[in-house]
Amino acid sequence: MSESNSPPVNAIRSDEYSGRGVFVDEGTILQPFDFARMVHEAVLKTDCRVNQTHADAQDAVFYLRHRCQLAHKAGRKTIFIGNGGSSAIASHMATDFTKNGGIRAIAFNDAPLLTCLANDFGSEAIFSKQLEYYAKAGDVVIIVSSSGRSPNILQAAEQAFSQGLDLVTFSGMNPDNVLRRKGMINFWVPAKDYGIVELAHLTLLHSVISLQNPSFDAK
């Protein structure tokens, strides 16, 4: 994809995250409850950006809920994408957004289709090709990736942008990860441990459909 067709980069500077204290799990996790405490802390310290601007995490969650509701009311859908553990999160949340949230949602996790696309186009294209085939303008695409650096994830983000889709990203670990700079809404969890990042992502996504605030509901 040409540079001119790349999405705008969020104003993320590495010096914002220099030194100790950036991550909730800088030290060794010694006790089981240390892990639970760090998950809680990671959710509270999640960095959020909406349209390239810092946003309060609660406001960002409300805004994501609103965008998904608007897509549903317009006959569109919310699409979840992820690898590995994040793939399980994608399936989980597509189910809950549909049943508990009343929001039309799917996950791109059909095994025969994934292996077909990997065989014919390469593993980097397994999600971008599905967006090409199934996504329509007005759809919301939620990409979940702990590292934010997998080639198939980044290619899907570029594809979403090229199709004019509403892209939302959930990432963690490296504060300079590329995925974190791609979406109209970006959630970055300040943790190095996969489990902490994944559970923080689940918590934030569950809150989208569990919260009650009619003023943010789509009319």
- Digit-by-digit pLDDT tens for the chain (219 residues) are 334 444 444 444 555 555 556 889 876 777 888 899 999 999 999 999 999 899 999 999 999 999 999 999 999 999 999 999 999 999 999 999 999 999 999 999 999 999 999 999 999 999 999 999 999 999 999 999 999 999 999 999 999 999 999 999 999 998 989 999 899 999 999 999 999 999 999 999 999 999 876 666 766
We report the CATH number of the domain holding residue 195 as 3.40.50.10490
How many residues are there in the chain?
219
Identify the pLDDT of residue 31: 83
> Is residue 31 one of the residues assigned to a domain?
no
Give CA torsion, residues 64, 70, 75, 78, to 10 deg: 0
Q: Give the integer Cα–Cα distance in Å for 103 and 94.
A: 9
CA atoms within 13 A on the CB side of 7: 28
> Is residue 65 one of the residues assigned to a domain?
yes
Q: Structural domain of residue 91, as residue ranges?
A: 47-213
> Is residue 88 one of the residues assigned to a domain?
yes
Q: Give the integer Cα–Cα distance in Å for 57 and 48.
A: 6
Identify the pLDDT of residue 25: 86
Identify the pLDDT of residue 29: 75
Q: How many domains does the chain have?
A: 1
> Is residue 97 one of the residues assigned to a domain?
yes
> Is residue 143 one of the residues assigned to a domain?
yes
> Is residue 119 one of the residues assigned to a domain?
yes
> Is residue 107 one of the residues assigned to a domain?
yes
Q: Work out whether the CA dihedral 172, 173, 175, 181 comes out positive or negative.
A: negative
